[in-house]
Amino acid sequence: MVDHIRMAVAGVGNNVSALLQGIEYYRHKMGDPSLVGVPHPRLNGFGVEEIRCVAAFDVDPAKIGHPLTEAIHGSTNNFPHIVDAISESVTVEDGIRGDAMHPSHVEQVVRRLHDTAAEVLLLSLPTSRPTAALAYAEAALSAGVAVVNCSADSVARDPGLLRRFTSASLPLLGDDLASQFGSSLIHRALLDLLSRRGLHIDGTYQVNLGGNEDFRNLRDSGAPKLTSKLNVLSTVPGIASLSVIPSGGHVPFLMDRKVAHISIEGRGWAGARVAVEVRLEVQDSSNAAGVIIDLVRIAAEGRRRAVGGFLGEAAALLKSPPLDGNGSGR
């Protein structure tokens, strides 16, 4: 019997709500061979249900001091209720504020990670919080804890930090999730298909809309996310014009749903016009949780084997992984 993975989370938003509710949901599905929606029921010896959240940090006063089972539905979170409650009896603690950081905040996180024997720290912070993300990574390094960064901010791509995690035999995985079935994945696959079939791509664009706090944040602070999406799409050769809008708008009515519009125009034999239009609608945070569940298990297994830095098996789950595991960032 494999010991449960002990995970801490920084940022109790929709992604963490989807992840923890999903883990609870699947705990009651064990023995069901289908496990719908789970890419790998067992990965590196760990089942989906073998993850326990042992600590949680946030800076939202509406979440701090509240039980995690309540906080995942608090404040601006709008991921649906899929279980009545989660098993973890954790209270959300005050976290690191990037705009007004004090050494004691980092020390508090280090102590908590030590006290709870956490193995993996999941960074689920809003994009464009690089100071806070790097501070959490430093705290994890001091505490001997692996890190998974979900945001588009450069953490695993920081060459110096990645070298230090490698030297400490601690995994550092990131940055920015490649959703389980997302707009960049579909867009890239369509562009690859047209290119392989010999068509000339005159122009293509992608516009994303959503109703959760992530889309509100990306509307004003979307530069890192834009770079991350372009990392995925711009490697297809011969695209004359490429435009991506990570957040075309925050639409509260959509709640945690995301709607993506993808358009491609090109020319085939003798200049014949080809046009592709795709509309994708997904539950945004479920799309993230279906990838996070694998990244956490990869990080935990790497830490237990004392394999540090970036682990290659995580690359396909990320939009902007480092180029290699030796600190050569993209």
- CATH number, domain containing residue 226: 3.30.360.10
Q: Among 285, 245, 249, which Cα is nearest to 262's?
A: 245
The verdict on 138 and 90 lying in the same domain is: yes
- CATH number, domain containing residue 128: 3.40.50.720
The verdict on 165 and 194 lying in the same domain is: no
Q: Assess if residue 56 is contained within a domain.
A: yes
Q: How far is CA 41 from CA 2, 33, 116, in A?
A: 14, 9, 26
Q: Assess if residue 328 is contained within a domain.
A: no
Q: What is the pLDDT of residues 76-104, one digit of tens each?
A: 999 999 999 999 899 999 999 876 566 77
Identity of residue 27: R
The verdict on 83 and 218 lying in the same domain is: no
Q: Assess if residue 327 is contained within a domain.
A: no
277: buried, middle or exposed (CB in 10 Å: 19+, 13-18, 0-12)? exposed
The verdict on 146 and 12 lying in the same domain is: yes
The verdict on 109 and 127 lying in the same domain is: yes
Q: Assess if residue 329 is contained within a domain.
A: no
The verdict on 165 and 35 lying in the same domain is: yes
Between CA 159 and CA 166 the distance in angstroms is 10
Of 284, 308, 325, which marks where a domain is finished? 284
CA atoms within 13 A on the CB side of 317: 26
Q: Assess if residue 18 is contained within a domain.
A: yes
Q: Taking the CA atoms of the chain, what radius of gyration do you get in angstroms?
A: 20
Q: What is the pLDDT of residues 10-57, one digit of tens each?
A: 999 999 999 999 999 998 887 676 688 998 999 999 999 999 999 999
Q: How many CB atoms lie within 10 A of CB 70?
A: 13
Q: Assess if residue 52 is contained within a domain.
A: yes
The verdict on 161 and 191 lying in the same domain is: no
The verdict on 250 and 273 lying in the same domain is: yes
Q: Assess if residue 230 is contained within a domain.
A: yes
Between β-strands 51-58 and 5-10, what pairing exists: parallel, antiparallel or unpaired?
parallel
Q: What is the pLDDT of residue 222?
A: 85
Between CA 257 and CA 277 the distance in angstroms is 20
Between CA 292 and CA 83 the distance in angstroms is 19
What residues make up the domain containing 257?
A: 183-284
The verdict on 10 and 97 lying in the same domain is: yes
Number of domains in the chain: 2
Buried b (16+ CB within 10 A) or exposed e, 296-325: bbbbbbbbbeeebbbbeebeebbbbbbeeb
Q: Assess if residue 116 is contained within a domain.
A: yes
94: buried, middle or exposed (CB in 10 Å: 19+, 13-18, 0-12)? middle
- The SS3 call for residue 117 is coil
Mean pLDDT, consecutive 10-residue stretches, the chain (330 aa), reads 86 98 90 79 92 97 97 96 94 86 84 97 93 96 98 95 98 94 95 96 97 91 90 90 94 97 98 98 97 98 98 95 55
Between CA 185 and CA 232 the distance in angstroms is 8
Q: What is the pLDDT of residue 97?
A: 87
The verdict on 88 and 197 lying in the same domain is: no
Question: What length is written for the chain?
Answer: 330
